[in-house]
Structure 1
Amino acid sequence: MESEKGGFGAAVVANFMRPSWAVLFLMFALITFVSLQLPAMTVFPLSVLSSSTNPGVSENHRSCSDYFRGVHGRKFVMSIKDFGGIGDGKTSNTEAFRSAVRYMQRFGDKGGSQLNIPQGKWLTGSFNLTSNFTLFLEEGAVILGSQDPKEWPIIEPLPSYGRGRERLGGRHISLIHGHGLHNVVITGQNGIVDGQGKMWWDLWWNRTLEHTRGHLLELINSDNVLVSNLTFQNSPFWTIHPVYCSNVVIKGMTILAPLNAPNTDGIDPDSSSNVCIEDNYIESGDDLVAIKSGWDQYGITMARPSTNIIVRRVSGTTPTCSGVGIGSEMSGGISNITIEDLHVWNSAAGVRIKSDNGRGGYVANVTISGLRMERVKIPIKFSRGSNDHPDDGWDPKAVPKFKGILISNVISVNSTKAPVLEGIKDASYEGLCFRNITLLGIATSGTWHCEYVSGFASEVFPVPCPELSSNGTSSWCSPS
C-alpha cells in the first residue's frame, strides 16, 4: 500500500487556494497521519455488543451495538479436527466441514455450537452454516477455497435478480453460505478465508465463465449476524453479500483482492435492513462497499428495500470504482443510509450513486459526511447509462426517484476532475444538498458537470454547476 502521508505537506503548499480552510484541512491531515499509526486489525470482543432487541444507532452514535443482539458463549465447542479435517493445504476438507455443521446443527436449541478452525491451511469446497452457531478461526488458521468448480455447486438465482448476475440461469454458491439462519457469528483471531479466486477471474477474462461466480460469504434471509476480526481475500466475485437479511454487523475486517480482480466488491448489503459496516479496511477491484436492492423488473416486483444502513470508518483503495457505491441494482429501493468517516485513496471515485432507465426504485434519505480522499479521480459522482439489464422484460419507463441526499464535510487532495452529476431524464431529484466541500488539485478549467439534476450547494470549492443554486433559499441545506 502506498504511504498515505507522503506528499501531504507539499499538496497543501501547492494546491491550497482557500486560506479560510487551512485549519480544517490541517486537522484532516493530522487525523490521516494518526490513523496510519493504528493497527489494521483489532480483536473485536463480543462483550462490546449490546443485547438490546431494538435495532438502531447507540446513544453515542459511534458504534452499532444495537444492530446485533449479543450472544452468550456457545455450549458445545468442537474442532474441525474432530471431523477428520487435515490442515495441510492439499487435502480436501469439504466433507469434514459439511459433516461438522450437520452434526452441530442438533445443538441449535441446546445452547448453540462453535466450530473452531485451528492453525493450518484447510482446503474446502462450499459449506453451509447453521443457526445459533459460531465459526471461529484461530490465529494462523486459513480456509482455502477449492480449485474444483464442482465443489461450488450451482444454486437458484436470487428472485430479486431473476438470473445470475453475470450469466443466465443459476449461479455458483458461495464458499461459506447460509439461508434462513439466526444468531450467526463468523469471527476469530485474525484468521484468513482465502477464496483463491484467480481461477475464476481467468474464466471471466477468457469469456469462458458458464455460471455467475460465487461469493466468499453469502447469507440469505438471515437475522442477527456478526462478521468480525478476520481477513477475507481473493474472492471469486463479491466478497461479503448479506441479502434479504436484517441486523447484520460487519466490523474490524480486512478485505483484500488484487486491484485488477474483476467485480471483487468488498461488502454488498442487498435488500437488507439494519446493517452496520464499520472499522474495515478494503482493497478491491471494484467498490469497497456497494448498497443494492435488486435488478430492474425483478427488484421492482420483489420490492425488498435496503434500509437503515450505516457505513462508518471504512478505508481503502479501488482503482476502477468507488469507496461507497449506491446501486446500480437499486430497483427495490434504498433509504436511510448514513456514510461517515470514509477514507479513500488512489481510486476512481469517492462516493457514487448509480442508476439507469429501467431500474425504477428510489434512493432517499442519504447522509454522507466526513469523506477524505487523496488522488481520487472523481470525488463525487452520479452516473447512468450502464445499459445492463437481466433480460428483455425491463421497462424503459421505470425511472428511479431521488430525494434527500446530503453530502457534506468533504476534503479531496490531488483530485483529477470536479464532481460529475449525471442525472436521468424524467427521473425526479428532490433535496440534493452539497455543503462544506473542498476539492484541491483540479485544473482551473475543471468545472462541475451536471445534467438533469437540481439542488443546493453551500461552501463548495470549486464553484458548483448552476443547477445547484447557492442563493440560500434552502434552509435545510444551510450550515447549522
Structure 2
Amino acid sequence: MLVALLLLLALSNAVKTYGQEGEGQCDLKPTLDPRPHSVSIKEFGAVGDGKTLNTIAFQNAIFYLKSFADKGGAQLYVPPGKWLTGSFNLTSHLTLFLEKGAVIIGSQDPSHWEVVEPLPSYGRGTEVPGGRYQSLINGYMLHNVVITGNNGTIDGMGPVWWERFTSNSLNHSRPHLVEFIASDYVVVSNLTFLNAPAYSIHPVYCSYVHIQNVSISAPPESPYTVGIVPDSSDGVCIEDCTIVMGYDAIGLKSGWDEYGIAYGRPTANVHIRHANLKATSGACLAFGSDMSGGISNILVDHVHLYNSHSGIEFRTTRGRGGYMKEIVISDVEMENIYVAFAATGHCGSHPDDRFDPNALPYLNQITLQDVSGTNITIAGNLTGIQEAPFTNICLSNITLSINSASPISWECSNVSGFSESVLPEPCPDLKNSSNSSSSCFSLLGQIGKTAVL
C-alpha cells in the first residue's frame, strides 16, 4: 500500500492528490486540473438533438485527442444537448467532461453496441453464454482517465434492455453504462447516471479508482440493475454518492467459480463512505456472490441504507472458492429494511458444469459496529456452509428497532462470532469465546493501519 500511495502522489498533472498523515483511501482526494488541450464534440460533427447518432463523432474526437497523451493530455467537452451514441472507447490521459444540461444517451439499437469477448474471470457472459455487449463508455488498459462534469447525465435507456432480459430474448449479456478494464488512476465524479442496462459503473481488473459525488438511479422494477461494482480491483474509493437501484446499490465481486479462481485477482483495499443507498429487491451493500478471486480489506463507514430488502449482505455458494475476509463496516444508519444483515452460503448459479463442488468459499473476520436501525423486520439471517462455516463475525454497538411484522429477529446456522451491546440479542452462535473477541479487535487495528499507510 505504501508503494501504491507514493505512486498515487506522483500522478500526472490531470489527477493530483493531497491528504494528511493518518487519513484513509478516500482522504487522498483527487483534484482535477484543466487539461492543456480541449475540444468540443460539436467540432467533430456531433448533433445534440437526441435523434442523430453520434458514435463516429465520439470515436473521431477521441482518436484525435489521443495524440495529446504525451503533451499533458486533453479534454473532450460535451455541451448541453442530447447526444445519442452507441458504444465508444476512451483513451489514456483524457478527461470526458459533461456540461450541465449535457446528456449522453445510449442507443436502443443493439447493433450500435459492439459485441466483445467475455471477461476471463467469468468465462462466459453472465446472463447469456458467449460474448457480451460492450458498455456504452469503455476504457481498456488506460492510465489517468477522468469522466466528470457539471452534473451532466449519462442515460443508458435501460427499459429496452430490461424487457429483453425478462423475456429471455437477449442475444448477448446486457451492457453496462461505464466500464474500465485493466486501467489505473481513474476518476468518475460529479455526474448523474440513469437507467443502466445492467451495471452503472464497473471497474474490473483496475487499480486506484476514485468515484465521488455521483447520483445513480434505476427504477424499482429494473431487473438486476446495480449501481457501482468494483470487480477484481484494488485501491477503490467510493464516496459522497447517492444510489437507488432495482437490485444492488454497491456490489463487490471478483470472478465466477473456476474462471475467477484461475484468474486469481481479488477485490481489495476498498473504502466506501458517506453514501445514501437504496436497493429495492437486493442489498444496499452486497459482497458476492461472484467472489472466487477473493474480497478482502474493505472499509465502509458513514452510510445511510433505506427502503430496501437487505441492508448488508454476503453471498456465496459451494464451487465458488475464494474468500471474504477483513471487512469492517461502521457508522451505519438503516431505515425500513427487511433484513438488516444477511450472509448465505447457498446463493448464485454456476457458469457451467466444470466447476469444482469441493471449492468451498471462506468467510472470516467480518466486523459490523455502530449501527442503528428503525423499522427493521429481521435483524440478521446468517446461513453458512456446513463444511465451511462462517467464522469471526463480530458485532458491536448495534441497536435495531424491530417492527411488529417480524417472525423472528435472528436466524443463524453454521456461523460463529462475538457480539457486544447488540439489540435485539443475537443468536447464541454469535456470542462465542474470547478468541473471537480478540480476532475482532485485531482486525480493527489491522484495517486502521492499512488505511493510514
Partner residue of 1:167 out of 128, 133, 136: 128
- Within 5 A, what are the aligned runs for 1:200-211? 200-211=161-172
Instruction: Using the TM superposition, give the Cα deviation of residue 259 of structure 1 relative to its aligned residue in structure 2, in angstroms.
Output: 1.2
Secondary structure (helix, strand or coil) at the match of 1:95 reads: helix
Pairwise CA distance, 1:418: 2.4
Match of 1:452 in 2: 414
Deviations 1:190-220 (A, max 9, x none): 0000010111001011111111000000000
The 10-residue stretch of structure 1 (361-370 or 71-80) with the greater mean CA deviation from structure 2: 71-80
> What letter is aligned with 2:350?
H
| RMSD, aligned CA | 2.0
Alignment: residue pair count? 430
1:404 — aligned with what? 365
CA distance in 1, matches of 2:440, 2:254: 28
The CA distance in 2 between the partners of 1:56 and 1:423, in whole Å, is 42
In 1, Cα distance between equivalents of 2:396 and 2:225? 32
Match of 2:252 among 291, 295, 302: 291
Alignment map for 1:50-449 (pairs within 5 Å): 51=9, 59=21, 61=23, 64-66=26-28, 72-443=33-404, 446-449=408-411
SS of residue in 2 equivalent to 1:103: helix
Deviations 1:154-204 (A, max 9, x none): 000000000011010000000000100010010000000001011100101
Tell me which moved more, 463-472 or 359-368: 463-472
Give the Cα separation in 2 of the matches to 1:131 and 1:162: 27
For residues 288 and 475 of structure 1, the distance between their equivalents in structure 2, rounded to whole angstroms, comes to 32
Rounded to whole Å, the distance in 1 between the matches of 2:18 and 2:412 is 35
Residues 353 and 101 of structure 1: is their aligned pair in 2 closer, same or farther, counting only changes over 3 Å?
same
Equivalence for 2:450:
none
Superposed displacement of residue 130, structure 1? 0.3
> What is the distance in 1 between the residues matched to 2:29 and 2:382?
33
Task: Please list the CA deviations of residues 12-71 of structure 1 after superposition, one character each: whole Å capped at 9, or x if unmatched.
Answer: xxxxxxxxxxxxxxxxxxxxxxxxxxxxxxxxxxxxxx8456999853636724375x55
Higher mean C-alpha displacement, 401-410 vs 470-479: 470-479
Stretches of structure 1 lacking an aligned partner (at least 5 in a row): 1-49
User: Given the two structures, how large is their TM-score scaled by the length of structure 1?
Assistant: 0.86
Query: How far apart in 1 are the matches of 2:293 and 2:27?
Result: 27
Which residue type is aligned with residue 103 of structure 1?
A: Y
Cα distance in 2, alignment partners of residues 56 and 277 from structure 1: 17
Deviations 1:285-304 (A, max 9, x none): 11110000000000000100
CA displacement 1:241-264 (0-9 Å, x = unmatched): 000000000000000101110121
Deviation at 1:280? 0.2
Counterpart position of 2:448: none
Which is strand-richer, 1 or 2?
Answer: 2
What is the aligned-residue identity percentage?
A: 47
Taking the aligned partners of 2:150 and 2:317, their CA distance within structure 1 comes to 42
Residues 323, 342 of structure 1: 8 Å contact kept: no
Aligned residue identity for 2:422: V
Query: Cα distance, 1:428 vs. partner?
Result: 4.5
- Cα-to-partner distance string for 1:49-95 (whole Å, 9 max, x where unaligned): x8456999853636724375x55421210000000010011111111
Q: Measure how far apart 1:445 and its partner are.
A: 5.5
Name the CA distance, whole Å, in 1 between partners of 2:201 and 2:170.
21
Within the candidate set 413, 422, 429, 1:467 is matched to 429
User: 1:268-293: CA deviations, max 9, x gaps?
Assistant: 00000000001000110111100000
Shift of 1:356: 0.5
Structure 2 unaligned runs (5+)? 1-7, 446-453
- Alpha-carbon distance in 1 for matches of 2:232, 2:109: 31
